[in-house]
Amino acid sequence: MQDDRKWMKEEFSKVINRKSITEEEYFRGKTLEDISFLVPLSKTVVATCTLKLSNFLNSALSNPEYYLWFASSVTGPSEVLPSTSDVFSFAGDWVCCAFLCSYEISKLLRLTLYCLSYGNDNGIAMGIAFTPGDVPTNLKLFNSLLHFPVVPDVCIIKPPNKFPLETFVNHGNLVARCHMTLGPRSIVHMEIFEIANEIPPLFPSEPQDGRRIWEAKIKQPNEPNGNDSGLIRNIPYYFEIVNWLRVTLRPGDMLPTNDRSEILSLEGEKFFAGNDETIDAVCAYEIDSTDLVFVAGLKVRPDTRCGH
């Protein structure tokens, strides 16, 4: 997983150096530190968090949801437009500033942020995650994320930490980065971008000399009658499995692993089958850092020359 985070950081640097973003009007002549001082500290507000959310996507981040369990107020816009940065200010209470917030990427997906900042520089904590769109932003969600296994789309850094924090998460082609400074006036930078157009094709459009990873199980067709034997024709088929995840696909237990190798992130394998007979084939890969198995199958019939 450490290598995955390093890869995301490298991709983030490429995007930041190549793409521009518009800052809202109140940024003009102000730093985030200047904006953070607009929320005064007092005996009842011992810590604050100022979040700069930069949206490098082609669609808006909208419908923000908040769970303020050690925070007294939040101010910010109702959406962050594409290629735009905006600011959200969170005021804590007499203990600390702690909250959970999320922003809608689509109806199926949200970008979720957790922040904790103590007063008197007593440490910070943070986390970011891609969460399902229909899951409410509340304490139950936070507890679930806190005990989540190590996966690419969730990262929670628990307290106390007396140094600035940075982490990355990804979900498919989406990558998010978060950086947080020490309190009592913590500054949080969170960016989200997509790498869909950043990765070159892994394979040419036409098949090249591929290697056979596993032997397809061949079922014998029914014995043809008389002159029908001419219906059985040579059927060359191939398909590709490409791993766009940030984790490795490993040969599963469903089939022998002979002549099958793991598929690393952003790599792929070609599977070839050619015969004068009906072809039924299946293979399985375990997805690292999850309890999921990816299964791929191939079915070809000589009479229809149609694969599924």
pLDDT tens sequence across 245-255: 767 888 865 55
Closest CA to 232 of 241, 220, 242, 240: 220
Q: If pLDDT is split at 50, 70 and 90, which confidence band does 260 have?
A: low
Q: What's the chain's length in residues?
A: 308
Alpha-carbon distance of 248 to 294, in angstroms, equals 11
pLDDT digits (tens, 9 = 90+) for 268-304: 776 665 555 666 777 788 888 787 888 877 776 665 5
Is residue 42 within a helix (H) or strand (E), and if so which, with residue range? none
Number of Cβ within a 10 Å radius of residue 57: 16
Q: Is the pLDDT of residue 17 over 70?
A: no
- Residue 150 is predicted with a pLDDT of 73
Helix (H, G, I), strand (E, B) or coil at 15: helix
Structure tokens at 216: 């397809």
- Residue 219 is predicted with a pLDDT of 30
Number of Cβ within a 10 Å radius of residue 252: 16
- Across the strands, what pairs with 185? 48
Q: Mean pLDDT for the chain?
A: 77
In single-letter form, the type of residue at position 195 comes to I
- Across the strands, what pairs with 237? 273
- Return the domain boundaries, the chain: 2-194, 230-307
Q: Is the pLDDT of residue 189 over 90?
A: yes
- Residue 299 is predicted with a pLDDT of 72
pLDDT digits (tens, 9 = 90+) for 99-116: 999 999 999 999 999 999
Tell me if the domain spanning 230-307 has CATH number 2.60.40: yes
Q: If pLDDT is split at 50, 70 and 90, which confidence band does 222 have?
A: very low
Confirm if 228 and 135 have CB atoms less than 8 A apart: no
Confirm if 235 and 279 have CB atoms less than 8 A apart: yes
- Residue 156 is predicted with a pLDDT of 92
Q: If pLDDT is split at 50, 70 and 90, which confidence band does 98 have?
A: very high
- Identical fold between 2-194 and 230-307: no
Q: Which fold has domain 2-194?
A: Mutm (Fpg) Protein; Chain: A, domain 2 (2.60.270)
Number of Cβ within a 10 Å radius of residue 104: 18
Instruction: Show the DSSP H helices in the chain as ranges.
Output: 2-18, 32-36, 139-146
Residues 6+ apart with CB under 8 A from 184: 41, 46, 47, 48, 117, 118, 119, 120, 121
- Residue 283 is predicted with a pLDDT of 78
- Residue 231 is predicted with a pLDDT of 33
